[in-house]
Structure 1
């Protein structure tokens, strides 16, 4: 009887409207993937059975699948908003310890410096060294050193690049004599606590193609080192490193002069040409303590933290996962999915490697729901509901006519 067919059609259309309504409601949900109701016909018996082929007895919703197509990427400017442009899912550790997977890249820092989403789930990634090189393929919760400043680093090397005037007279050969400060410069080094240690350098021409270096620390007088630092230049004006003597410099802490440490002085780029004295580069590798000021995430998922002392350090790399059968993922709400036997084991990787998509920091992936298409589908589902209701009404009229026959 048509009652069965009509009732199954109404139930299927109602389920389809539920799916469409869920899509429309989540059209603005970050990382949302549209769902689609897929129908299948019902028969009382199959082809080839002894009873032949019976007429169909209705329709059923065979499955509600999700469409894992790429959503549009919208720029937000928030450092911890991250969009996946391509394949892959973020791996999350839920507060209860279970694993979940998501495309919603709205992350934040909690009070322990861990990177979490709005539900407090930890974003998983790979540990790296300070230069961003991956140290392990085992994922762990990503965190940033927000609990205190990064420690200071004492100066261990000072690099110089300058030109000494080849036209300068040799010391004590002219009157008035060339003052020691005529050719000099300075740089600020740092002790183990990050305190500034001023270092002065002065150069005195003692022979043709030969200069003696005088040094001072913490504002003290200029003096020769022991053994003396002597720079000897070749005829082409470049430094003769084989005959020059360049001992390290001893630095002292401003708080306690008894605390000393050594730093090398690199003069390898020094020259002696017939132009004015000029310093083109003077750097050292020490720095004071620093607080976290900002961070950025590159396309490969490496998180780089910037500090108030001008230093930058990598703090880990975001991990991505994928599955052989993404349709097997079970949605659990809040933009998360869970894996099961139908998905296969998760395959880990890094953004931009292999089939994994790249990351876009300061942006979010919108839902892939086409609101116009959903509204058209809603009208079609409504018409299907009305048509099935009409079959029930017609069958009721036929039955009523039969019962009223005399």
Structure 2
């Protein structure tokens, strides 16, 4: 009996040393979770069972469990390094089409603009509009438009915020006459191909609380345009009844291509201070190449382009399980789900019980090297003790056989 007990102890201690050695070897592996060998005693028969005796016959490794505690977060500065601070796993589509789950956030862009890990597995996420609003709860592989420039957008609205000097004389009665260029500003608009169209605005006072607005397109003389009138109330704010007609722009590449542009002067004022333009914007832009990206705590990926535009390119999804201990490790920092884990529960970072993301950082392994080395010494002593049990039993058996 002692031979079997000692042999089971040696086998279990050896298995424990394997687990500890695996932990030590992966102490620097990103997203690695420590494993622990859990032992169970063996009996020849169960308690109160009929027949036999309740004699212990050794030990076995009942299960090797994983410790899903949080690892330290180390800043790397790489835009596509992402650490999960809290619970959750990245969802990955492997090259063979299967699904895997990981805590290792070392991602890269492949030649098709897809966000992948070192094994080529695609990171899954939610589609969003250009402002980062989630469009669907169905995950899909995340990608960025790296294959070519984002298309241009023609200007559809020009917004101007300015103050016209209430002290200015009426132009027709001023001596000398006030030049049309005294109060004016300009902005660059864009046609559907991203070509620049200079647009100028000139203001001329025509009466108390009343101004004419002249427009200039592509360097034309504003005096040759048909003006429209804007009116102000006695408190200096723009009369809400003022109607501002749209401006028609012509593409410099093709005179047959014209498009309307709305103009908004809603925040314009007429106060007794110097003329000033406080804001002048338009919503068109040139084509642009991807220059950089950033990922916020909620997982929204924002891409920046050479034309100064930024737009969201998707949101990283996280997955969790009712029983994370049921996850099956498959190597390369990945786990696979099975019947023991239950169905995956998907969500966005920072929502509910899901952790938030830290871009430009990685989660270190949660392995405590000091604890592992102490456990290794304990496992070694257990191995030696069980070997001594076998040695002692052998000596007893030898003594019996050599009795005269």
Q: TM-score, normalised by structure 1?
A: 0.97
Counterpart of 1:352 in structure 2 is 350
Change (3 A) 1:354 1:92: same
Note the 1:7-156 alignment, pairs <5 A: 7-51=7-51, 53-156=53-156
Counterpart of 2:231 in structure 1 is 232
How far does residue 259 in structure 1 lie from its aligned partner after superposition?
2.1
Between 201-210 and 46-55, report the one with greater CA deviation: 46-55
Note the 1:284-303 alignment, pairs <5 A: 284-303=282-301
Runs of at least 5 residues in structure 2 that lack an aligned partner in the other structure: none
Q: Residue deviations 1:120-176, cap 9 Å, x none?
A: 001111111111111111111111111111111111111111111111111232332
Between 51-60 and 350-359, report the one with greater CA deviation: 51-60
> Any idea what SS the aligned residue of 2:376 has?
helix
Note the 1:196-275 alignment, pairs <5 A: 196-223=196-223, 225-226=225-226, 228-242=227-241, 244-275=242-273
**Of residues 369, 372, 379 in structure 1, which corresponds to 2:377?**
379
Are the equivalent residues in 1 in contact too, given 2:292–2:305 (CA < 8 A)?
yes
**Of residues 327, 339, 342 in structure 2, which corresponds to 1:341?**
339
| Counterparts of 2:12 and 2:287, CA distance in 1 | 65
2:324 is the counterpart of 1:326: yes
| Counterparts of 1:142 and 1:109, CA distance in 2 | 10
Q: Residue deviations 1:98-137, cap 9 Å, x none?
A: 1111111111111000111000001111111111111111
| Counterparts of 2:239 and 2:330, CA distance in 1 | 71
Runs of at least 5 residues in structure 1 that lack an aligned partner in the other structure: none
Counterpart of 2:195 in structure 1 is 195
Are the equivalent residues in 1 in contact too, given 2:216–2:225 (CA < 8 A)?
no
Provide the alpha-carbon RMSD of the alignment.
1.2
Q: TM-score, normalised by structure 2?
A: 0.98
| Counterparts of 1:13 and 1:235, CA distance in 2 | 91
How far does residue 257 in structure 1 lie from its aligned partner after superposition?
3.0
How far does residue 305 in structure 1 lie from its aligned partner after superposition?
0.9
Are the equivalent residues in 2 in contact too, given 1:213–1:224 (CA < 8 A)?
no
User: Aligned residues, how many?
Assistant: 404
Q: Residue deviations 1:76-113, cap 9 Å, x none?
A: 11111111111111111110111111111111111000
Change (3 A) 1:31 1:331: same
Counterpart of 2:395 in structure 1 is 397
Q: Residue deviations 1:318-355, cap 9 Å, x none?
A: 11111111111111000011111111111111111111
| Counterparts of 2:48 and 2:243, CA distance in 1 | 100
